[in-house]
Chain A
Amino acid sequence: MAPDVSCFLLALLCSASCEVIISLDQTCIEEEANKTYNCENLGLREIPDTLSNATEILDFSFNFLPAIQNRTFSRLINLTFLDLTRCQINWIHEDTFESHCQLSTLVLTGNPLIFMAETALKGPRTLKHLFLIQTGISNLEFIPVHNLENLESLYLGSNQISSIKFPKDFPTWNLKVLDFQNNAIRYLSREDMNSVESTNLSLNFNGNDIKGVEPGAFSSIVFQSLNFGGTSNLSVIFNGLQNSTIQSLWLGTFEDTSNQDISSSMLKGLCDMSVGSLNLQKNRFSDFTASTFQCFTRLWELDLTATHLEELPPGIEGMNLLKRLVLSGNKFDQLCQINAANFSSLTHLYIKGNKKKLHLGAACLEKLKNLQKLDLSHDDIEASDCCNPQLKGLIRLQSLNLSRNAPLGLQSQAFRECPRLEILDLAFTQLHVDASQSPFQDLHFLKVLNLSHCTLDTSNQHLLEGLADLRHLDFSGNSFQDRTIPKTNLLQTVGSVEILILSFCDLLSIDPQAFHSLGNISHIDLSHNSLTCNSIDSLSHLKGIYLNLAANSIGIIPAHLLPVLSQQSTINLSQNPLDCTCSNVNFLTWYRENLQKLEGLEGTVCANPPDLRGVELSAVQLSCGMTTLGIFFLIVFLFLFTILLIFAAQYVLRRKYQHI
């Protein structure tokens, strides 16, 4: 029996040692040396010894700390950010953060708090951000008021709070953000509002169905932003906000909340308050006429995203302060249906993701002389001759987004109407450009051009002509004839480009002279092609650039190409079938010596020989002199050769002198 018991003990010991190994396996991730650690999801019951005493930022979420007290974090006195999300904390005892003078952010989201001691938050000299989301709080008295004088943001979402009345001694004067999302607040009284002393506050009541506001509760208060998202009756809000001043008012609703339609008479309430920016997303209007807008005259921003609009009425007056208009996600047929002339001062217009095919018509935005930014992406726009008739009169336009639309046909000087364009995004919109046309001609100020996945004809040498100041060209996802960029190519006309993206172009090779006219390049992305080392020659005149060659077909890089790589500042060679045999030994040595220049080290692995497949290049050590076996055979061969020579000499001598 005795041996069995000893065996069992041995097994137990072994099991204990196994557990040690496993717990060692689950250590925190050091994101910044001695400073930032991530210990998420490790089931830890205490701060591990492996953390440096100098830790400043600690994500300790999803661990297990039923009670936290003075000694729990006492070692980490430099903490500035502490995330204790969902650590099953029930108790926060006296003086838990006493020694943490620097702590400025404390996250306690999702903990079933039973009690916080009166001095629980004492210690930090500038505690600025406190997250008490979903901690079961039903009464604001629960939060210990001690040491909250510097508090700037207080997040109290998803609790059972029904009144926002703060206790008398609660220091609210520095608050900038007060978040009451998803609580049970039904009524806002004058007394409630008076308990908050700060001005320029951002107050969030999203997901509280407010049924009543005491008249005058918000009067003569200035707010940075107010959010009543998802409230079922907006009349209550409009009445309650009389005489208030609000920078940004969010009154949107959601797919899953049912609320009353907005009528023009409800919106009259806006005349009695001062609002800068108004969001009404996903609301439905019971009547939508020019009078709907009669109290919008002081707005500088109006967001009507997904408000089921088919047109905006003509004859709206007094909207000359409006600078930004968002009409995305609606159901317009024609661009002219927005009656742009109503909003002649607009600088920004967003109509993206229209639910119907949008027809641009002609000169629909002609009156928008000040328009600087226009977003018409995801609109299924189709035009055989774009874009001068459509964009007529937009002389100040700086940024145009036509990405993700149906095919567009571009002629020469297609953007002549918008000579001041600086950013043009045409990504994922098929472009038809006739041979030797230059659609971007005369865009002298254009700095950023996104032509990714436009199925362009890259044999057209004149395609990019006239872009004197272009800095950033995204040309990814277009294909080249014979899968090669030849010596004479369309990039020769854009000599000022600094950032060039040619990923996913299905390239096999690049002519050594192909980039010769590009002298200003600082960033070139050639990833996701089928390039081999031969194409590296085309970069020999470039110095100090960021070079991305990831996901290509580079196996061996011969010694004469290594100086080309050496002169660049950052190189990514990950996901290439790199050769780790002696035929690539020069490159392998270079790689180990230049690790500080390389990016994506963990993805840079050997493909050859089979026994090194998947091994990180930085871990490979080759000795490529002659192998021991080779030396052995050479010695044996030399030895045999010498013996043979001796025998031969003996034989010759014997033959020569045998007759003597």
Chain B
Amino acid sequence: MKGFPAVLLIWTLISPSSSGGGSGEAWPTHVACRNGGLEVLYQSCDPLQDFGFSMDQCSKHLKSNLNIKFGIILRHDIKELFLDIALISKGSSILNFSYPICEEDQPKFSFCGRRKGEQIYYAGPVNNPGVDIPEGEYQVLLEVYTENRSIVACANATIICS
């Protein structure tokens, strides 16, 4: 019976179901853009799914009305959709804001009103103001959610400006 503990050990190491059903596994970190002294990395913090995001232009002098590409599967209807952004630098909070993307009386984007289960691909402007990003490393938490606070997308992003 000498081999038993060894087999058990190997099994616990390789068996995927024993490591908490994969729930502890995080989504990979993706590069949204890397150019001109700016690097934007993000990781989905929605335990159910990953999503795809990229920015067309990448520079320290961020232009207004950026174009982005965004692909995701909706897990909720998005008649009403809101974005929360929290910007953190060196552990302290710099900026928090909330922005309505889709509202019943003002659907700003063409994808507003699409339904649970639909796959969305958006390539277009985001209507942002232009900013010069000071050098440093920033943490950004983005949350996109519906009127009853159901998460549609969640991202932990890192912006490195050098």
Interface residues of A (CB under 8 A from B): 3-4, 7-8, 10-11, 14-15, 18-19, 22, 25, 41, 61-62, 85-86, 107, 109-110, 131, 133-134, 155, 157-158, 181-182, 206-207, 229-230, 252, 254-257, 281-282, 303, 305-306, 326, 328-329, 350
Q: Which of B25-33, B56-64, B108-116 contacts A (4 or more CB under 8 A)?
A: B108-116
Q: Report whether A254 and B107 are in contact in the complex, using a CB–CB cutoff of 8 Å.
A: yes
A62-B75, A306-B106 given as contacts; is B1 within 8 A of A85 (CB)?
Answer: no
Smallest CB–CB gap between A335 and chain B, Å? Answer: 20
CA distance A328 to B105 in the complex (A): 10
Q: Report whether A19 and B17 are in contact in the complex, using a CB–CB cutoff of 8 Å.
A: yes
Q: Report whether A15 and B116 are in contact in the complex, using a CB–CB cutoff of 8 Å.
A: no
In order of increasing CB-CB distance, the 9 nearest A-B pairs are: A110-B117, A256-B124, A85-B117, A109-B117, A7-B4, A4-B3, A254-B110, A86-B117, A11-B11
Contact of B125 among A22, A252, A256 (CB under 8 A): A256
Q: Report whether A11 and B7 are in contact in the complex, using a CB–CB cutoff of 8 Å.
A: yes
Query: Which of A3, A15, A256 has the most chain B CB atoms inside 10 A of its CB?
Result: A256
A133-B118, A157-B115 given as contacts; is B73 within 8 A of A110 (CB)?
Answer: yes
Q: Report whether B116 and A61 are in contact in the complex, using a CB–CB cutoff of 8 Å.
A: yes
Q: What's the count of A-B pairs with C-beta under 8 Å?
A: 99
Q: Report whether B125 and A86 are in contact in the complex, using a CB–CB cutoff of 8 Å.
A: no
18 sampled A-B residue pairs with Cβ under 8 A: A4-B3, A7-B3, A7-B8, A25-B21, A61-B116, A86-B73, A109-B117, A110-B73, A131-B115, A133-B115, A206-B110, A229-B107, A229-B110, A255-B124, A255-B125, A255-B127, A306-B106, A329-B106
Q: Report whether A10 and B4 are in contact in the complex, using a CB–CB cutoff of 8 Å.
A: yes
Give 16 A-B pairs besides A3-B4, A110-B117, A256-B110 with Cβ atoms closer than 8 angstroms.
A3-B3, A4-B4, A7-B1, A14-B8, A15-B17, A61-B116, A62-B117, A86-B73, A109-B115, A110-B73, A110-B118, A110-B119, A134-B119, A181-B113, A255-B109, A328-B105
Smallest CB–CB gap between A57 and chain B, Å? Answer: 15
Contact of B114 among A19, A158, A257 (CB under 8 A): A158
Smallest CB–CB gap between B5 and chain A, Å? Answer: 9
- Give chain B residues whose Cβ lies under 8 Å from the Cβ of A329: 106
CA distance A8 to B15 in the complex (A): 13
A7-B4, A254-B109, A255-B127 given as contacts; is B11 within 8 A of A15 (CB)?
Answer: yes
Interface string of B40-82 (1 = CB under 8 A from A): 0000000010000000000000000000000001010000000
- Give chain B residues whose Cβ lies under 8 Å from the Cβ of A229: 107, 110
- Give chain A residues whose Cβ lies under 8 Å from the Cβ of B48: 41
CA distance A182 to B74 in the complex (A): 15
Smallest CB–CB gap between A305 and chain B, Å? Answer: 5
The answer, yes or no, to whether B2 is at the interface (CB within 8 Å) is yes
The answer, yes or no, to whether B148 is at the interface (CB within 8 Å) is no
Q: Report whether B118 and A158 are in contact in the complex, using a CB–CB cutoff of 8 Å.
A: yes
Q: Report whether A134 and B117 are in contact in the complex, using a CB–CB cutoff of 8 Å.
A: yes
Smallest CB–CB gap between A324 and chain B, Å? Answer: 11
